[in-house]
Chains A and B, each alone.
Chain A
Amino acid sequence: MERLAFDVAHFFAGSLVLVSLMLLYQDRLSALINVFAFQAVVLALSVAWQAYVQGAPHLYLTAAIALSVKAIIIPVALHRMIRRLGIHREVETAVNIGPTMLAGLGLVALSMVVILRATAAADMLAREDLAFALSVVLLGLLMMVTRRNAVSQVIGFMSLENGLILAATGAKGMPFVVEISVAFSVLVAFIVIGIFLFRIRERFDSVNLQALDDFRGEIR
């Protein structure tokens, strides 16, 4: 059981990293959203598995939230937004996909080194989980900095949050405050982002941040 538990958790966590890399690979917005939804599904599975292994039923709630919000509601909303706003279908990249992938691999390696070196004393599961979570966080951040349009940046951010949830659930016995707050933050984040996107659209015809960035408060 111990072995199996570890292997399954390891598998899910690893999958999350893989999906994060896949996110980086996408060059179409709709595909990107789909992959993100898939990541949310994997995350939900992972969290559910943790709930089962740790015998922590409240984690099922987290899994459910992840599944419903991130895998269904948000992707659907984003799809509609793309259609309604007539946003470019391409993911506009600041750095080409190839180098981004390479950088992503480097980040995964870095997080492995950092974490594995750090927690020699901790148990395997936590260690591996943490390493993968860190990878997902860094990859999400990488996505935010290498993609130009707002939708992909938002997805990058949410992917980052996925990593956080992975880490939080992996930390056995973490007080539930944290899960709630994570979910809460994701929710609020999304709502506020939505509000802002709405307002931004009100004034500019695009959610591309570029249009906003041209106006930076100070004249150059």
Chain B
Amino acid sequence: MIAIPTSGEGLILAIPLVTAALLIFISNYRLSARLNAASAFLTLLAALSLFVRKTAPGPYLLVDDLNIVFIVLNTFVGFTASVFSASYIAHELETGRLTKAQLRFYHAMYQTLLFAMSLSLLANNIGLMWVAIELATLTTVVMVGIYRTHEALEAAWKYFILGSVGIALALFGTILVYMAARPVVGEGPDGMVWTVLIDHASALDPALLNLAFVFLLLGYGTKVGLAPLHAWLPDAHAEGPTPISAVLSGLLLNVALHAVLRFKLLLAANPGAIAPGPLLVTMGLVSLIFAGFMLYRRRDIKRMFAYSSIEHMGIIAFAFGMGGPLANFAGLLHMTMHSLTKSAIFFTVGHIAQAKDTQKIAEIRGLTTSHPMLGWSLVVGVVAIAGMPPFGVFMSEFLVVSSTFARAPLLAIPLVIGLLVAVGALMQKVHGLAFGEPTGVSHPVKASYLPMIAHFGLVLTAGLYLPPPLVAWFQHVAVLLH
């Protein structure tokens, strides 16, 4: 047994795993959808319990200040996405896009994915972390291809190939880290335990660490969706079921980012290694600007928001790359806000696509007139994701831009240009989508607005008021990240 199942982290892992096993055998989709949501909720509770009771890091699992942010965020969005999924997937069944058998598989996979992501976040062993991310990749590959349309299969195939290569590179990086650790820590499992590694970080061979970081950055960076490693991301988001798009954008990218951050910490603790910052900054800027321009010619609404995820991952990578307490704080905040906002946008977009029978931007017009709730949710989501107040993204972008400009003005200029380009594109699209005379088919939607409202509510609250404990927490982590 990996850990004692009564501890918080044990439960976080055990609940989804058990549920996944159960779900395989449940054919009633209503029941399985409910079970899915209930299990996700329990996982969330278990995650929250981590705040109360922390266990000392074991050889395999670890709960520290850094990953607890990720875990709570992950389990929360995992829960809301499962609620959304329940209302979304029923519609898919009615329209015959999915069969019951596929649904059974879908729910099991959903829980497996949650398990894999939690495992990766909790792992104290870089090998285990790698395995978990690999598992998460494989499950999402299958989920993306679940519709079995040409496009879905192609997207899954692309995702699979690029993901596998990324994973392979990450493994090589992991091996290199072990190689670097071996002379210091000694042979055996200790060489892969992150807490041990970080303790001895300054003694590790810097050159080997550099090499390892290159591979890890490219490997996990592929999962993060940083340009030019992003190619799988837009299609996977666009062609999979929307709850999965939400989970991909809101969670999986963060999980990969968490891995990158772990290794960044390792490198930063070693005086001889290259500073990982410039690499992250460069890739972040490239992603931001590239995705900003890509937004303009998008014709598929989900693919557009997928590119927006690339853009925001760029901003986050940039912030962490800049480092310093302000920028790190901003990066963490931005990551949280982006997860919440983007997944809420995908919830909205999922219902919109169901209401209009299409994902083509050109065929969706005047949503605020035909579907006021969905239309305005979309407007709110885009406004939030574009970094406008009163939403939380505004605060993080404020901190990133202003702190950067004071330290490195030349970096802030491309940053600002990228932001502006992206805002221009997003706003252009939302003007067409949400306003004007409604056209095309228009079904009434039985949407559960609760997840969206919850997310937007949180993002709004964060934009206005961050509770001091959360701030203290973030600040602590920000200092941890240098």
Contacts and interface: CB of A to CB of B under 8 A. Distances in A.
A102 B156 CA distance: 33
B189 interface: yes
A168 B175 contact: yes
Contacts of B353: none
Nearest to A111: B211
Contact of A130 (B130, B151, B179, B300): B179
Interface string B422-440: 0000000000000000000
Given A167-B172, A182-B171, A199-B148, 20 more contacts: A118-B211, A121-B183, A122-B179, A122-B182, A126-B179, A130-B176, A144-B165, A157-B161, A157-B164, A164-B172, A171-B175, A172-B182, A178-B174, A196-B153, A212-B153, A213-B154, A216-B154, A216-B235, A217-B155, A218-B303
B157 A189 contact: no
A115 interface: yes
B9 interface: no
Contact of B205 (A121, A167, A182, A212): A121
Contacts of A181: 127, 130-131, 134
B154 A212 contact: yes
B35 interface: no
Interface residues of B, number: 51
A209 B238 CA distance: 20
Contacts of B176: 130, 167
Q: What 5 A-B pairs are tightest by C-beta distance, nearest first?
A: A173-B187, A118-B207, A175-B189, A217-B151, A167-B175
A134 B172 contact: yes
Interface in A112-127: 114-115, 117-122, 126
Contact of A141 (B165, B207, B211, B300): B165
B125 interface: yes
Interface residues of A, number: 48
B110 interface: no
Contacts of A172: 182, 187
A120 B272 CA distance: 14
B188 interface: yes
B187 A203 contact: no
Contact of A192 (B141, B168, B175, B238): B141
Q: Determine chain B's interface SS by DSSP, over half rule.
A: helix
Q: Determine chain A's interface SS by DSSP, over half rule.
A: helix
Nearest to A130: B179
B192 interface: yes
Interface string A190-205: 0011001001100100
Nearest to B208: A118
A122 B141 contact: no
A4 interface: no
B53 interface: no
A171 B178 contact: yes
A177 interface: yes
Interface string A54-84: 0000000000000000000000000000000
A215 B188 contact: no
Interface in A153-196: 153, 157, 160-161, 163-164, 167-168, 171-175, 177-178, 181-182, 185, 188-189, 192-193, 196
A70 to B, nearest CB: 15
Nearest to B142: A192
Contacts of B175: 164, 167-168, 171, 174, 178
Q: Which of B155, B175, B210, B235 has the most CB of A within 10 A?
A: B175
A185 B148 CA distance: 24
A146 B36 CA distance: 44
B138 interface: yes
Contacts of A219: 299
A137 interface: yes
Nearest to A153: B161
Contacts of A114: 211
Given A137-B172, A192-B141, A177 B128 contact: yes
